[in-house]
Amino acid sequence: MPFTVVKEIPGSESRLGRLVTRHGVVETPAFVAVATRGTVRALSSEDLESLGVQILIANTYHLFLRPGPEAIAEHGGLHRFTGWHGPWMTDSGGFQVFSLGAGKLHGVGKIASIFPGEAKPNPAGLSLVELTEEGAWIRSIFDGAKYLFSPEEVIRIERLLGADVILPLDECTSPFHDLVYTKQAMERTHRWAERALVAFERTQGLGPNPEQELWGIVQGGAYEELRRRSARTIAGLGFPGFAIGGSLGKSKEEMHRVVEWAVEELPRDKPRHLLGIGTLEDIVEAVRRGVDLFDCAAPTRLARNGSLLTFSAPGFRLNIDNARFRRDENPVDENCDCPCCRRYTRAFLHHLLRTGELSYFRLATLHNVRFMVRFMAWIRAELAAGRLPTLEPKLS
């Protein structure tokens, strides 16, 4: 059994788990670091190891464009190509189908509350995607060339990349898609899931990693009936793990309900990944509702923008660009054991950011990624002690 539930918290879906892959073990709940093009931005594989990162997720669409799956396969797959020898996931490119298509047209992300209020159609928004039953025609952001991302083609690419956990092509809907469209998209995603499973079986032996797992993706937007139906349908196809994707509604409360609906319909003995979600609050709430894995680009992107994660600052973020840090000789977080906090002061980081020094990006990213690793370890410790994690004491 690649996934084991180690301990359950009575009265909840929450649990401690272990995911065993050919390239290493992932203790869950876990944060999956985002390495879109095969590298966590500004970090090396040695950095990730020293920070205690357990697993990375790369992007099928981006790696398809550059350097191409054949180049990576010839190189022995993602693990050998990138030098990260631990577990890898690849997402399917489905989110790019969304972000380059409906997301661009609607001007929204996974949760509409990022842009509160009504849909804000982007007048300059040009969809780079055309969706058909066959698959998604995607135009390259580099040269405008058109490629068909069919469920079969995506599996072929992911076989060549060789990640340990791979995801099938899905269609993410926007929070502003109505019930009718969301249902149609969901049903097509289910048909694509079946085709992906067939393609996955048929390509056994292709690519560098003979022990890949294909997990299913639950869609259905923020419509309870659709979400539950999608979870039941995808679970019924026999995937060994699941991801919850697509629109999570228009508020945090809706997102929590979407997670609850999906988790309730999924088998308890299989891992559950919440795609693209990762604020501290969101992670805690989703863990309490039974999610095991999270990936999110926010911690690394925030670092590059000057936001450093710490429990000691309001909103858990310290904006190192602020002039008040110019002469601050404290580390970013005195409770942190990362290479940045062990050696450098807020004043120095402020200076590096203000002068645009490249070393800033790495030091800040080291801190935020280490923070996420420690945060997930704290969550696991709470669960191990039989408690559901809560941010309340951290807020005081």
Residue 206 makes contact with its own copies by CB under 8 A:
no
- How far apart, in whole angstroms, are the C-alpha atoms of residue 246 and residue 98? 9
Nearest approach, Cβ of residue 80 and its own copies (Å): 8
Q: Which amino acid is at 253?
A: E
Residues in the interface with its own copies (CB under 8 A) total: 41
Asked about 91 being catalytic, the answer comes back as: yes
Binding mask 71-100 for its own copies (x = CB under 8 A): x--xxx----xxx-----------------
Nearest approach, Cβ of residue 347 and its own copies (Å): 6
- How far apart, in whole angstroms, are the C-alpha atoms of residue 155 and residue 218? 17
Position among 9, 19, 42, 259 found at the interface with its own copies (CB under 8 A):
42
Nearer to its own copies, 1 or 323 (CB): 323
Q: Which amino acid is at 299?
A: P
Contact range with its own copies by CB under 8 A, out of 3-11, 63-71, 145-153, 244-252? 63-71
Distances (CA, A) of 221 to 218, 226, 237, 250, 294: 9, 7, 20, 10, 18
Asked about 295 being catalytic, the answer comes back as: yes
DSSP 238-264: T-SSEEE-S---SSHHHHHHHHHHHHH
Binding mask 279-308 for its own copies (x = CB under 8 A): -------------------------x----
| DSSP SS3 for 309 | strand
Radius of gyration of the chain (CA): 20
Residue 41 makes contact with its own copies by CB under 8 A:
yes
Nearest approach, Cβ of residue 325 and its own copies (Å): 11
Residue 87 near residue 56 (C-beta atoms within 8 A): yes
Catalytic residue among 91, 164, 292, 333: 91
User: Considering only CA atoms, which of 56, 124, 134, 39 is closest in space to residue 91?
Assistant: 56
Nearest approach, Cβ of residue 366 and its own copies (Å): 9
Nearest approach, Cβ of residue 41 and its own copies (Å): 5
User: Considering only CA atoms, which of 91, 56, 347, 88 is closest in space to residue 215?
Assistant: 91
Distances (CA, A) of 26 to 62, 87, 272, 382, 383: 25, 8, 13, 17, 16
Beta-carbon neighbour count of residue 323 at 10 Å?
Answer: 8
Nearest approach, Cβ of residue 8 and its own copies (Å): 39
Contact range with its own copies by CB under 8 A, out of 207-215, 252-260, 283-291, 336-344? 336-344
Burial class (CB in 10 A: 0-12, 13-18, 19+), 25: middle
Map the footprint of its own copies across residues 8-37, applying CB under 8 A.
37
Position among 345, 377, 378, 388 found at the interface with its own copies (CB under 8 A):
345
Nearest approach, Cβ of residue 50 and its own copies (Å): 10
- How far apart, in whole angstroms, are the C-alpha atoms of residue 106 and residue 273? 25
Nearer to its own copies, 65 or 226 (CB): 65
Position among 326, 381, 387, 390 found at the interface with its own copies (CB under 8 A):
326
- How far apart, in whole angstroms, are the C-alpha atoms of residue 272 and residue 2? 13
Residue 38 near residue 121 (C-beta atoms within 8 A): no
Position among 2, 17, 29, 38 found at the interface with its own copies (CB under 8 A):
38
Residue 49 makes contact with its own copies by CB under 8 A:
no
Nearer to its own copies, 203 or 345 (CB): 345
Nearest approach, Cβ of residue 83 and its own copies (Å): 5
Nearer to its own copies, 70 or 253 (CB): 70
Catalytic residue among 170, 282, 292, 295: 295
State phi, psi for 78 to the nearest 5 degrees.
-55, -40
Map the footprint of its own copies across residues 346-385, applying CB under 8 A.
347-348, 350-352, 354-355, 357-359, 361-363
Beta-carbon neighbour count of residue 332 at 10 Å?
Answer: 26
Distances (CA, A) of 385 to 6, 284, 294: 12, 16, 22
User: Considering only CA atoms, which of 298, 306, 271 is closest in space to residue 287?
Assistant: 271
Residues of this chain that bind its own copies (CB under 8 A): 37-46, 62, 66-67, 71, 74-76, 81-83, 304, 326-327, 329, 339, 343-345, 347-348, 350-352, 354-355, 357-359, 361-363
Catalytic residues: 91, 295
